[in-house]
């Protein structure tokens, strides 16, 4: 039998729905982190695309600083429920090349990452060993100018 998995943020068991505000909840609309995506603003029509990129990212100053009001929260909750909330299932981080589970995180400059890691892997997780392997394969970088 496998070990019972518990969400590290809100404490629910695997298969249950996250508590509101959990940082592990997945947005059923975009697939990103629910508490940090812009789907609520987009679906509620709160982003002025003409002002996107402005000081308040297309939102009114009030929404930018205070978030949704009670009525907007209710509307957003209904949108989420209609779309279908996503229950907690532990999905481990894996190295995209070797499959190592929860590889230790490490930092390299963006310049080095782009030099040694081929484009297909640049947005993926790699363990240090696989990153070093790519550096050995491509000591001058993967990109060859012809």
Taking the domains of the chain in order of start, what are their residue ranges?
1-91, 92-146
In the chain, which residues have pLDDT < 50?
Answer: none
Question: pLDDT at position 11, please?
Answer: 96
pLDDT value for 57: 75
- pLDDT for position 48: 76
Q: What is the pLDDT of residue 62?
A: 86
Using CA atoms, how far apart are residues 107 and 65, in angstroms rounded to an integer?
A: 32
Quick one: pLDDT at residue 119? 96
**Confidence (pLDDT) at 35:** 93
pLDDT in the model for residue 47:
84
Q: Which pLDDT belongs to residue 51?
A: 66
Is the CB of residue 42 less than 8 Å from the CB of residue 118?
no
């Amino acid at each position: 039998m496998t070990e019972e998995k518990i969400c590290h943020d809100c404490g629910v068991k695997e298969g249950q729905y996250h508590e509101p505000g959990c940082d592990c909840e997945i947005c059923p609309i975009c697939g990103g982190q629910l508490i940090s995506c812009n789907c609520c603003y987009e679906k509620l029509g709160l982003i002025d695309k003409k002002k996107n990129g402005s000081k308040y990212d297309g939102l009114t100053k009030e929404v930018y600083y205070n978030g949704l009001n009670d009525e907007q929260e209710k509307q957003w909750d209904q949108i989420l429920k209609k779309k279908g909330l996503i229950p907690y299932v532990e999905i481990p981080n894996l190295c995209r090349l070797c499959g190592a589970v929860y590889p230790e995180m490490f930092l390299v400059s963006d310049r080095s990452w782009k030099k040694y890691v081929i484009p297909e892997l640049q947005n993926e997780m790699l363990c240090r060993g696989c990153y070093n392997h790519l550096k050995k394969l491509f000591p001058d970088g993967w990109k060859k100018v012809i």
